[in-house]
Amino acid sequence: MSDQNESQCNCRELLADQETWEIILDPAFCNDPGAADCLAHLLFILKKAIASGPEGSMRVINTLQDGIRMVWPHTEEHKLARELYEIYLSGDLKPWDEPRQLLEGALERFKTKGRAKPKPVRGRSERRKRGTAQARR
């Protein structure tokens, strides 16, 4: 993946560096070059749409939002949410551990405090390996 022409890249203005891309892409595409080609085409289309102006940029935002929706079922968070929901359906949870209580509480804390800096998470390197690295700001 390091066979790139770095002279065409302004590496100081990236939202995701090469290491982040490799963490995400290597496991996903090492045995599926066709899928890698499809992603390359999508990235090219997104780049072209952004360059076309505000209307194209809005289409990119909508496309990315849809992509996030499509990725959700493949995440560990989705699996955990599903497991918690099934335990909830069994009636074996305490009221404060029910999914709705937990989610509403988290959302309320977020809305009242705004975007607080997250506390360090154990296993952060494992999260990066799974491709959930935060974009550099």
Of the pLDDT bands very low, low, confident and very high (cuts 50, 70, 90), residue 9 is low
Of 117 and 17, the structure prediction assigns the larger pLDDT to: 17
Is the separation of the CB atoms in 63 and 50 below 8 Å?
no
Tokens linked to 109: 């804390």
Residue 99: pLDDT over 80:
yes
CB-CB neighbours of 41 under 10 Å: 10
89 shares a domain with 109 = yes
CB-CB neighbours of 133 under 10 Å: 18
Residue 134: pLDDT over 70:
no
Identify whether 5 is part of a domain.
no
Of the pLDDT bands very low, low, confident and very high (cuts 50, 70, 90), residue 113 is confident
43 shares a domain with 28 = yes
Residue 20: pLDDT over 60:
yes
51 shares a domain with 38 = yes
57 shares a domain with 23 = yes
Residue type, 133: A
- Write out the residue range of the structural domain in which residue 43 sits: 16-74
Identify whether 9 is part of a domain.
no
105 shares a domain with 62 = no
Cβ-proximal residues to 26 (8 Å cutoff; 6+ apart), any chain: 1
